[in-house]
Every structure is written in C-alpha cells, then in structure tokens.
Amino acid sequence: MGASYHQFCPVAKAMELFDERWTLLVVRELVLGSERFNELRRGLPRMSPSLLSTRLHQLTAAGIVRRVTDGGDIRYVLTPAGRDLEAVVDALGAWGSRWTGRLGDEDLDPKLLMWDMHRNVDRSAIPQDRVVVRFAFTGAPRGSRRWWLVITPDEVDVCDVDPGFEESVAVTADLRALTEIWRGERQWSEALRSGAVAIDGPVTLRRSLPRWFASPLAAQSSG
Amino acid sequence: MGASYHQFCPVAKAMELFDERWTLLVVRELVLGSERFNELRRGLPRMSPSLLSTRLHQLTAAGIVRRVTDGGDIRYVLTPAGRDLEAVVDALGAWGSRWTGRLGDEDLDPKLLMWDMHRNVDRSAIPQDRVVVRFAFTGAPRGSRRWWLVITPDEVDVCDVDPGFEESVAVTADLRALTEIWRGERQWSEALRSGAVAIDGPVTLRRSLPRWFASPLAAQSSG
DNA sequence: CGGTATCCCCGTCGATACTG
DNA sequence: CAGTATCGACGGGGATACCG
C-alpha cells in the first residue's frame, strides 16, 4: 500500500490506495470487463507482470478485487467496493477527455488500439456472419503497421499476422487519426473526406463499418 | 510530471497527472477555497514546502492552477480545468467515505481537525456575536490537546494557546469521536449520550453548538 | 509571508528471467 | 496460462536549512 497521508479526509484515504502508479488503470481494465491475468496484461502492455501481480494483491487486500478460482480457472472480479469505483474512473475519464489536450506521439499504440476496438465490436451492426478487417496504419513503427480483426458471431480475434482468411474490407488509416476517432475527437466522415482514413471493399461493408466499432470513449465524451 | 503510461485512454492521461503523491490533495485544498501558499500548507501539514511548490508549478503547467499576483499578494486559483476536477475529488471522497473503513490512529490529527472545522463554521447558527470555544481532546498527544476557536462575525481564528478572551463554552472530546462526528459517521447526540463528547457552558450555547459546525464531509456522506 | 536550495535515502518501478 | 524471483537505477519525496 501507499504511505499514509495522516489525514482523516476521505479523499486522502482513497488516494492512499490510488496514488501509486498503475493501480487505477488496473481497476479500469476490470471495470471494462477483463478478468484474467493475461487479459489484463494485454490492456496494460507496459506494465510488468510482477507489478501487475503486486497490484492485484494490494487491491485484494483493500477489498476492491476478489480472486476467484474454479478448478484451474482463475479470475479477478470486482467486489461491491470495486464496482463503486466505476464512478471514480468515469469522472477521471470525463475530465481527461475534456482537458488533457492533444495526445503525444508516445501515446499512440496500434496494438492497444486494436485491443480496445476488438472488445467493443457491435456485432449487431455487421451485415454478415464472418468478417475479416485488415488495418494498415501509416505513422506507426515498422512491424506494427498491419493488423487483422476476425469477427465471427462468437468472438473477435486480433491478429498481427495474416490469419489466412480472405479479407472482407481494408482500413488504411493514419494512426493518430484513427485513435482520435476512437476517442470521439474526430468524425469518421471528416477523416474519410480528408483522406486521413480510407476504407476499401464492397460498398455495403464500407458504408457500415464506422458503426461496427462502438467506442465507449466517444460515447463518454459526447454524453 | 509523472511518467507517461503510453496509453491514449483519457483515464491514463489524467492519471499521469494525479498518480503522484499529494497532487490531488493540493487540488482538494484549492477546491475547498484555500488560495495562499501558507494556507495550503496548513491543510497539508505533512507536505514539505518544497514539494508543495513543485506541485503548484506542475499544476500550473498542466493548466489546472493559475498563480495570480496583485501587488505583493499572491494567490493560487483554479482554472476552469481545475474547477472541473471538483467532480473527481467528490467521486473520490464519496468512495472513500463508503469504503475505506475505520481510521487508523495515525489519521487522527487535532490540528487538522481544528483547521477543517474552523473553515466550516456556520456563523448564522451562533446566537452571539463573539464566541470562544475551548476544545480539550482526550487521546491526543501532549501538547496538542487544548485548542481554541475564536469566532467573530468577521473571522474564525484557531489558537493552540489560550487567546486570553473569556471562554464561552468548552468541548471535551475523544479525538477519534469528534473526528468521526466530523466525517458524518457518528451523531453528536449519540456521542454526548455515551460520554465520548461533553459540552460545558450556558444551556443555549450547549444546545446549539453541534449546528455551528457544518461539516462538508458529513453532508457528502449522507447525500 | 512566500517560497528555494540541498541532500540523501529508500522504495518503486522497470526489465528480464524463470517456474508450476 | 498464471504468475514469482531477482536485481539494479533512478528519482520521488521527506527533512531541514535558508533567502527575499
């Protein structure tokens, strides 16, 4: 746990838990629905596994997380106290959207963007059963420019190598542009018009693709 | 500034600012109305002046605080971005009230309690012009057991030495009990009945004293 | 009153490797 | 998949002294 502030103020008591690096981002991942260790890691790629482990222990000790085992299956779930933190995460996210300004180049991460988009696919907006979307990012480092989302009724997979299936539609995008769209700071329509993003494929897919991805960030900043 | 998380998520961008020790408590003080350097220090007694200085610089660079000078007068005021943080502080305070459990002994601080009470006196609830309240804390370290609040129409002063004026009413209290009352976790009536707190003085003053102090913490946890 | 300067320690965190 | 072990650096921040 973090050091005590020696204050009786509830804000101080709360911040004793949350003023340590990564802690609230772990909570964010749990609020977003991740439950397994390596699932959490994918949402927190720059966090070392040992530190994630430490944080999960701390959050468990604080009564925010419960480690649930079922056979070999291990999941981390929020307790009622943890679920109540959604209000804190939301308040921080709302403030961050409004006031943190333009993203730095170091904040752009195709892998993380794909991971976040993949878990917010709105299947009901997709007019076919199985769709393969290829993403090509300009302005991303070599080796993380090409990605595929394989969307089936049951699941959505992220691949960084060609999965082999025939691609249904291709998105070519400036990494920053697509990130800003995802954050709700830019419109698909504007980005397509300006050429920052291009969609290639059958017209029905091309037209509906922007609605396949239901960004919780954009929903938040507009709501 | 804190190190980057390399994430585009608004929660991460916000936490880059607030995951450093003390930062959000400085914001809390500003939200509560403190404006001068040494006024902030009184609300953050365990924070070194150099660190407070650093934090104020960081908050200024982040567009959360503005340093306003008028002659020799220097004040720190929240910008619109800073005022928007009130929602974050409130969410944290609400969560902290509900879930941080019993205070540790190290969280009890008569000086801080007096400072917080003094700035939340509801003058309109006091039936006289000038009132001197003496506080005697049991369960506090020698040297910080006796305090006085001198309440006049214009201001409220905290003293740790006898101010000389005749005392109007005296409160004898277990430090933890009064702190818990202040946090809204206990009722004056119950504490008086149980003997954890005693009020001595003229009956009119004795009866109305609990309403003189309008705790923002109690208001929050009940609302 | 409103800060800065300095110093040093200790703990956090990051990196990497490794295990059941 | 689900973590633990180890190790080193680096810098945050606590304490104290001091200045305009």
pLDDT (tens digit, 9 = 90+) per residue, B7-16?
A: 999 999 999 9
**A-contacting residues in B 128-157 (Cβ below 8 Å):** none
| Average pLDDT for chain B | 94
Task: Tell me if B199 sits within 8 A of B192, measured CB to CB.
Answer: yes
Cα separation, B141 vs B110, in Å, equals: 9
Under an 8 A CB cutoff, do B10 and A183 touch? yes
> Number of A:B CB contacts under 8 A?
180
Which of B4, B7, B97, B120 to probe the A interface (max A CBs under 10 A)?
Answer: B7
What's the pLDDT at A72?
87
Position B221 confidence tier, pLDDT thresholds 50, 70, 90: low
pLDDT (tens digit, 9 = 90+) per residue, B38-47?
A: 999 999 999 9
Q: What angle do CA B42, B182, B18 make, to 5 degrees?
A: 50
Query: CB atoms < 10 A from the CB of A129, how many?
Result: 9
Across the interface, of B7, B10, B97, the residue whose CB is closest to A10 is B97
Residue A176 Cα distances to A5, A206, B9, angstroms: 39, 21, 13
Residue B125 Cα distances to A146, B205, B211, angstroms: 68, 10, 6
Task: Tell me if A47 sits within 8 A of A38, measured CB to CB.
Answer: no
| Strand D proximal residues, B:43-62, Cβ < 7 Å | 46-51
How much of chain A, in percent, has pLDDT values that exceed 90? 89
Domain residue extents for chain B: 10-99, 105-222
What's the pLDDT at A221?
66
Cα separation, B25 vs B6, in Å, equals: 25
What's the pLDDT at B219?
81
H or E segment at A146?
strand A146-151
**Weakly modelled stretches of chain A, pLDDT under 70:** 221-223
Cα separation, A59 vs A51, in Å, equals: 12
Position B142 confidence tier, pLDDT thresholds 50, 70, 90: confident
Place domain A105-222 in its CATH homologous superfamily: SCP2 sterol-binding domain (3.30.1050.10)
The distance between the two most distant Cα atoms of chain B, rounded to a whole number of Å, is 63
pLDDT (tens digit, 9 = 90+) per residue, B176-217?
A: 999 999 999 999 999 999 999 999 999 999 999 999 999 999
Which residues is B131 bridged to in the sheet?
A: B151
Cα separation, B181 vs B132, in Å, equals: 20
pLDDT (tens digit, 9 = 90+) per residue, B91-120?
A: 999 999 999 999 999 999 999 999 999 999
B15: amino acid identity, one letter: M
What's the pLDDT at A139?
84
Q: Which of A9, A41, A65 is nearest to B22 (CA)?
A: A9
Residue A116 CA neighbour count, 13 Å, CB half: 25
What's the pLDDT at B49?
93
Given a cut of 80, is residue B220 above it in pLDDT?
A: no
What's the pLDDT at B222?
59
H or E segment at B24?
helix B23-31
What's the pLDDT at B223?
47
Q: Does B59 touch chain A (CB under 8 A)?
A: no
One-character DSSP codes across B142-209: TTSSEEEEEE-SS-EEEESS--SSPPSEEEEEEHHHHHHHHTTSS-HHHHHHHTSEEEES-HHHHHHG
Query: CB atoms < 10 A from the CB of A121, how many?
Result: 18
What's the pLDDT at B2?
80
What's the pLDDT at A223?
47
Under an 8 A CB cutoff, do A25 and B12 touch? yes
Q: Does B203 touch chain A (CB under 8 A)?
A: no
CATH-assigned architecture of domain B10-99: Orthogonal Bundle (1.10)
What's the pLDDT at A1?
73
**CB < 8 Å to B91, chain A:** 87-88, 90-91
Cα separation, A169 vs A146, in Å, equals: 13
Q: Extract the tokens encoding B24.
A: 């959000």
Q: Which residues of A131-150 are buried (b: 16+ CB within 10 A; e: fewer)?
A: bbbbbebebbeeeeeebbbb
H or E segment at A50?
helix A49-61
What's the pLDDT at B139?
84
Task: Tell me if B72 sits within 8 A of B12, measured CB to CB.
Answer: no
Given a cut of 90, is residue B32 above it in pLDDT?
A: yes
What's the pLDDT at B141?
85
Given a cut of 90, is residue B140 above it in pLDDT?
A: no
Given a cut of 90, is residue B143 above it in pLDDT?
A: no
Phi, psi of A19 (to 5 degrees): -85, 5
Across the interface, of B19, B103, B108, the residue whose CB is closest to A19 is B19
pTM: 0.95
What's the pLDDT at A222?
60
The answer to whether domain B10-99 and domain B105-222 are alike in fold is no
pLDDT (tens digit, 9 = 90+) per residue, A31-82?
A: 999 999 999 999 999 999 999 999 999 999 999 999 999 988 999 999 999 9
